[in-house]
Structure 1
Amino acid sequence: MKFLILSVCVALAAADVSHILPKDEKSAQILKQELDVGVEGQYQWAYETENGIAANEAGSLKQIDAETSAQVAQGQASWKSPEGEQIQFQYVADENGYQPQGSHLPTSPPIPEAILRALEYIRAHPPPPEKN
């Protein structure tokens, strides 16, 4: 049984999946690649490929308060979707979490007015405490 599991793992690792990617994607050349790591948590990196994929990020260590510091980063990325649409987004990652922005990202629909009124009524009129 162990030999069978090992054989399957080796077969999966050796599998050629290059046929999945379009020809221009798997042979795209890197046009630009930079990495600069500074002192005290500072860094920046960037890359760009000939098929239109580009990304960059810069980060640093931020002092939140006297005892707390956090690694923060901001960056952007862009590429062309399979449908030919240019996708671009920016992000910030800091003590408040990961915050992406981009026109292609899904957003929640607005809450209907009736639901907002119902939520306000529930907040203003909480149910009585349960008796045990």
Structure 2
Amino acid sequence: MMIKLFVTLTALLALTVAAPAVDDASATILTQENSLEPDGKYAWKFSTSNGIQAEESGQGGQSVQGSASWVGDDGVPIVLTYTADENGYHPQGVHLPTPPPIPDYILRALKYIEAHSQNN
């Protein structure tokens, strides 16, 4: 339940922050679907007149997968996909920051340590 709540709130927060404010005041819901099964499986999706689309499905309290898309303030479409399960929340999207590459000297040091490890 906490995973679902966290993921849903995260996706909605991202949509609220990133969606163009000009269209938000007059946006309307174009489509909306919700499904909840007795075994805890669920699914929902919606789309709005200002270009926001989102969907999510999963097994309550165990795992979820979903996506959201909108147009950023700069006019560039943004697509976010995510999963969440016992291994955590895993968002993906070209708009998300990525870590810098590991410096070559660190890679060489790790190879040296591995080659000279006493556990070999």
- Do both proteins adopt the same fold according to a TM-score greater than 0.5, normalized to the shorter chain? yes
SS of 1:46 mapped into structure 2 = strand
Q: Are 2:104 and 1:113 aligned? A: yes
Q: Are 2:69 and 1:78 aligned? A: yes
CA contact (8 A) 1:90 1:102 kept: yes
| In structure 2, distance between residues paired with 1:44 and 1:113 | 45
SS of 1:51 mapped into structure 2 = coil
Unaligned runs of 5+ in 1: 1-20, 62-69, 126-132
Matching residue of 2:26: 27
- RMSD, aligned α-carbons: 2.1
> Which has the greater radius of gyration?
1
Give 1:66-105 correspondences, 5 Å limit: 71-105=62-96
Number of residue equivalences = 98
| In structure 2, distance between residues paired with 1:27 and 1:101 | 29
Unaligned runs of 5+ in 2: 1-19
Q: Which moved more, 1:22-31 or 1:38-47?
A: 22-31
Higher RCO (CA < 8 A, seq sep 6+) = 2
Q: Are 2:47 and 1:44 aligned? A: no
CA contact (8 A) 1:59 1:73 kept: yes
CA contact (8 A) 1:41 1:71 kept: no
Deviations for 1:12-41, whole angstroms, at most 9, x for unmatched residues? xxxxxxxxx734211101001111111111
TM-score normalised by structure 1 residue count: 0.66
Runs of 4+ more than 6 Å apart: none
Structure 1 position 49, deviation (Å): 0.2
SS of 1:83 mapped into structure 2 = coil
SS of 2:32 mapped into structure 1 = strand
Name the amino acid aligned to 2:55. N
